């Protein structure tokens, strides 16, 4: 696959949308410059792929706005040695940003064709540190726990207990919490032994997390 040319859209996207809004983590900045976002939204013009907005990816789902991807990734405070769980593979863009930084990413998606498409794109990109599962990620991925970091990229009704307990000690969970029909708050949970520090970040808008510990949504609605 074609690499992004120098002085590319991703350089501009990072400068104008990400650094300008206060993201400073060099790992995040480097990863967002490197991962070609247009691979994940082939159906739109290249300039649109790097625009300051979310985009549809089919099946009623969306790829998050670049800034939201950067902010959530920064909040995870990633280390190279981290093992990360992502709930909501979607296009696979956020997954590859994570995989660019850490040693291992586990990602769960409930819609099988989205898992398949993301896997194919990652394979074409030569990424080898991602493991995929099609299923309900609202309960996490217990067989692969503990995780140093967990990121949920769909709106959850609350901070899900199952996910908290799948964190390693000092692990971080980033999860949008609130009504999926309106807005959510980005919540950050840090595990300290049997205790959890919870803080609130910005308001956000995600598609619903549908599943056992997520929302029940009318069939065909999402």
* 50 near ligand SAH, judged by CB under 6 A: no
Asked if 178 interacts with ligand SAH (CB under 6 A), we say: no
Piece in contact with ligand SAH (CB under 6 A), picked from 88-96, 168-176, 181-189, 197-205: 88-96
What is the nearest approach in angstroms of ligand SAH to the Cβ of residue 63?
4
Beta-carbon contacts of 219 under 8 Å, excluding residues fewer than 6 positions away, are none
Question: Is residue 62 within 8 Å of 55, Cβ to Cβ?
Answer: yes
Is 136 a binder of ligand SAH (CB under 6 A)? yes
Q: Applying CB under 6 A, which part among 29-37, 58-66, 75-83, 188-196 lies near ligand SAH? A: 58-66
Q: Can you point out the beta strands (E) in the chain?
A: 55-58, 61-63, 83-87, 104-109, 130-134, 147-152, 167-178, 184-192, 195-204
Q: Which residues contact 45 (CB under 8 A, 6 or more apart)?
A: none
The encoded tokens of residue 107 equal: 């990602």
The region of 12-20, 55-63, 164-172, 193-201 touching ligand SAH under the rule CB under 6 A is 55-63
Q: Segment near ligand SAH (CB under 6 A), from 30-38, 60-68, 122-130, 160-168? A: 60-68
Regarding 10 and contact with ligand SAH (CB under 6 A), the answer is no
Q: Considering 64, 91, 96, 138, which one is annotated as catalytic?
A: 64
Catalytic, 103? Answer: no
Say which residue the tokens 């696959």 belong to: 1
64 binds ligand SAH (CB under 6 A): yes
What does the chain come to in residues? 222
**Under 8 Å between Cβ of 190 and 164:** no
User: For ligand SAH, which is the closer residue by CB, 169 or 179?
Assistant: 179
Interface pick for ligand SAH out of 10, 94, 100, 115 (rule CB under 6 A): 94
**Nearest distance, CB of residue 194 and ligand SAH, angstroms:** 26
Burial class (CB within 10 angstroms; exposed 0-12, middle 13-18, buried 19+) of 155:
buried
The reply to whether 137 sits near ligand SAH by the rule CB under 6 A is: yes
Pick from 68, 102, 69: nearest CA to 84 = 102
- The Cα diameter of the chain in Å comes to 48
Please tell me the distance from the alpha carbon of residue 123 to that of residue 28, in angstroms, as a whole number.
22
Q: Among 18, 49, 109, 174, which residue sits at the site for ligand SAH (rule: CB under 6 A)?
A: 109
Applying CB under 6 A, the residues found at the interface with ligand SAH are 57, 61-64, 87-88, 90-91, 93-94, 108-111, 114, 136-138, 153-154, 207, 209-211, 214
Task: Tell me the catalytic residues.
Answer: 64
């Amino acid at each position: 696959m074609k690499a992004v040319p120098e002085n590319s859209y991703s350089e501009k996207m990072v400068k104008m949308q990400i650094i300008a809004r206060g993201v400073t983590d060099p790992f995040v900045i480097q990863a967002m410059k490197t991962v070609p976002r247009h691979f994940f939204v082939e159906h739109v013009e290249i300039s649109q792929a790097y625009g300051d907005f979310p985009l549809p990816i089919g099946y009623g789902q969306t790829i998050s706005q670049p800034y939201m991807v950067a902010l959530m990734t920064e909040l995870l405070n990633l280390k190279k040695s981290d093992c990360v769980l992502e709930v909501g593979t979607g296009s696979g863009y956020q997954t590859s940003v994570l995989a660019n930084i850490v040693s291992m990413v586990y990602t769960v998606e409930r819609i099988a064709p989205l898992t398949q498409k993301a896997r194919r794109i990652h394979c074409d990109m030569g990424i080898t540190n991602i493991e995929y599962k099609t299923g309900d990620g609202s309960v996490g991925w217990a067989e692969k726990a503990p995780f140093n970091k967990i990121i949920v990229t769909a709106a959850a009704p609350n901070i899900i207990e199952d996910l908290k307990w799948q964190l390693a000690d000092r692990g971080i969970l980033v999860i949008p919490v609130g009504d999926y029909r309106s807005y959510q708050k980005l919540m950050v949970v840090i595990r300290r032994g049997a205790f959890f520090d919870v803080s609130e970040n910005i308001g956000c808008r995600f598609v619903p997390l549908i599943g056992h510990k997520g929302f029940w949504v009318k069939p065909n609605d999402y």
